[in-house]
Structure 1
Amino acid sequence: MLTLFMIKNCDTCRKARKALDEKGLPYQVHDLRKDGLSAALLEHILARVPVMEALNRRSTTWRNLPEEDKKEIDANKARALIMANPTLLKRPLLDTGDDIILGYRDGDYDTLKG
């Protein structure tokens, strides 16, 4: 089954949900604020997506981090920041079981099958 990692107040996440609903695809929602992010789940995601691509530097969470935390960011520091602040994970993030789709633009889910 598909898993959509998101936060409820994100407009792009809502568009992704709508696209999945319109295609009639079954999926489960994982709210990063409510459900959190375990180390095992993060490692599952990062096995398919490079950590620097998964780090959302456009988020409010990123902007609110102390400047010291944002300096000299590398893969290890990014991983630790995402673990401490799950909303730093780029979203929506769709786990298809075989692949991870980061973000959402119209047409991104067109090839998915139920």
Structure 2
Amino acid sequence: HNRSELFLRGANELLGEWTTHKNLDNFTFDETFVIYYPLPRFLVTSRENQELIARIHEGLLKAYDDGSLLRLWEDKYLESVKFARLSERKVYRLTNPFIEGIDPTWKRYVYQVPIDE
């Protein structure tokens, strides 16, 4: 129908999607730009689960501090992020109005990929 189709994927998802679907007709991905949209992930539970909340929080902080959380992330996603070659793309940054007012300390834990703008 002479229409464009666009399905945004995270850089951490690109390689898996490409590997799985590259044999489909007209399946491709753009290599010239990247859309950055902050989308932190949070665990959600009842406020009544204070013991569970404290245990998960403490465990995540320990894993972050000792580097094991980053190693786990890199084992699962780094190959795909490298495949995306983000530093070779123009970056378009969008804002996420749904995270306004959230404590900004979550940004500390976001994997920092070198991106040239």
Query: Highest CA radius of gyration, 1 or 2?
Result: 2
Structure that is richer in strand per residue: 1
TM above 0.5, one fold?
no
TM-score, structure 1 length as denominator?
0.27
TM-score, structure 2 length as denominator?
0.26
